[in-house]
Amino acid sequence: MIENISLRLATIIKNANEENTASIDVMKYGLLILINGIIISVLSILLGFLFGKPTETLITMISFVMLRMVSGGYHFKTANQCIIISIILMITLPFIPINDKIEGVLIIVSFVIVLIKAPSSIEKQSRIPKQYYPLLKLIAALLIVTCYFIGSDTITKAFFIQSLLLIKIKGGD
């Protein structure tokens, strides 16, 4: 569904200005990412308000996206899968209680995974040259370290889930 909307919009844009626009495929991909992000953000925030956790939901989203931008990670096969799983994560993580001990373990595990696996699966998703991958790993690791000093279980849970998405599962992307 989202793919079809992106294709239609890209075709309309291309037909409006054929000479000064990117290819339909490039625009479709960009629009798909944009529409996905908007749907996930709007629905997550609305559901966060509905369930009484708007601030925690927003912090979860921002934390998750910040780490994902520099670390990469698993991509679902379809836009709809991405939307559904992302919204479920954004609205459920604020409700999962963790104590200080568990928070410390999650930070350490996240840090180790990021050091070993980041960046992951960004070759086809990003235009960042490989020479900058060590810098991306460093930034991701520093984000995890700052989580320790901030002491937010909401950020810790978001970083932990995102770090798990760096692990490639046999047969997955």
pLDDT, tens digit, for every residue of 20-58? 888 888 899 889 999 999 999 999 999 999 999 999 999
Percent of the chain with pLDDT over 90: 73
At residue 143's C-alpha, the angle toward residues 157 and 34, to 5°, is 75
**DSSP-based three-state secondary structure for 160:** helix
* Cβ 10 vs Cβ 28: under 8 Å: yes
- For the chain, the helix, strand and coil percentages under 3-state DSSP, each to the nearest 5: 75, 0, 25
Q: What is the pLDDT of residue 171?
A: 61
